[in-house]
Every structure is written in structure tokens, then in C-alpha cells.
């Protein structure tokens, strides 16, 4: 293995944002990313961080990330949401994605979480097959529902 997995640091956030933008392009949403490096630093490294992050580093370059945060399920209790698992396109297929995924699952196991959950876009069959091969349950009968900032404001103003 030519790369290492470690906890992310403030200094990694410019590279993290680059990977987030790369994912947005892959998911055909190139203009969707609104956060900045400052947002990542402030939200991830404050007194009450909103997320944790593992990075895959190869020769002093960040080639992948796994960004996750704690949630609470009324059915399961303490859970983790894996927001993004990204490996830069040129470094895929070297095991970094699986190593990052394993780091998150190990973190969940070691800290007594009851579930790890995430979304995967339905046309990303490579990811879906990988997750299934690890024992994850693919719930294709559930749909993701979101309310963006603009619609949230409209709803609140009208109710």
C-alpha cells in the first residue's frame, strides 16, 4: 500500500474541497458545491465539530476522503452518516476507497455505533456492488427527500 489513512487536519481542507468538487462533476452537478475551505475548517475543527474526516494520503497528496458525522435514529440510537467517500479518479482501483470505508466502519464499531448509513446515486453500479459485497444492505425502495435553503425560506415565510 503506497498510501496511508489518517484523520484529516485543517491544512487538508483545500485538497478536500477539490475532491468534493471532483465528486460534484462526477455526479453531473458541477455547480452544486457552495461550501468553502473556510466552511470546512470552521465546521470540522471548531469546539463542536460538525463532521469527522479520514483522508487517504499518498506522497504528501490527499487522494481520497471519507467525511462522516453522528446522527441519532429513533429506531437504532447512535448512528453515523457517511456523507461522502471520494477517491480522485486517477488513484481509483488502488484500494484507497476500501481503506477509507474500512476506517469509518472501524470507527463506528470501536465507538459502539449501531449503524452506518449513506446514500449512493442509483447509476453508480460499481459503488453499489462494492457496498453489497461488504455486507451492506441496499435499500432501493427508499427515496431521499431534501429541502434546499431557498425552498426552506419560502416554506417558513408561508407557514
Q: What element of type H or E holds 82?
A: strand 77-87
The torsion angle over the Cα atoms of residues 110, 62, 138 and 120, rounded to 10 degrees, is 140
CB-CB contact of 138 with 132 (8 Å): yes
**Strand 52-58 versus strand 61-73 pairing type:** antiparallel
Give the residue numbers annotated as catalytic, written as ranges.
Answer: 131
CB neighbours of residue 91 within 10 Å = 17
Helix (H, G, I), strand (E, B) or coil at 41: helix
Amino acid at each position: 500500500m503506497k498510501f496511508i489513512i489518517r484523520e484529516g487536519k485543517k491544512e487538508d481542507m483545500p485538497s478536500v474541497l477539490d475532491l468534493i468538487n471532483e465528486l460534484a462533476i462526477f455526479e453531473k452537478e458541477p455547480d452544486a458545491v457552495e461550501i468553502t475551505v473556510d466552511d470546512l475548517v470552521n465546521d470540522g475543527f471548531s469546539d463542536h465539530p460538525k463532521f469527522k474526516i479520514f483522508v487517504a494520503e499518498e506522497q504528501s497528496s490527499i487522494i481520497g476522503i471519507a467525511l462522516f458525522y453522528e446522527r441519532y435514529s429513533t429506531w437504532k440510537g447512535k448512528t453515523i452518516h457517511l456523507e461522502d467517500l471520494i477517491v480522485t479518479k486517477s488513484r481509483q482501483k488502488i484500494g484507497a476507497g476500501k481503506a477509507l470505508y474500512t476506517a469509518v466502519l472501524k470507527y463506528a464499531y470501536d465507538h459502539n455505533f449501531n449503524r452506518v448509513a449513506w446514500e449512493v446515486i442509483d447509476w453508480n453500479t460499481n459503488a453499489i456492488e462494492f457496498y453489497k459485497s461488504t455486507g451492506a444492505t441496499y435499500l432501493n425502495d427508499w427515496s431521499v427527500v431534501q429541502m434546499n435553503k431557498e425552498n426552506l425560506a419560502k416554506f417558513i415565510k408561508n407557514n
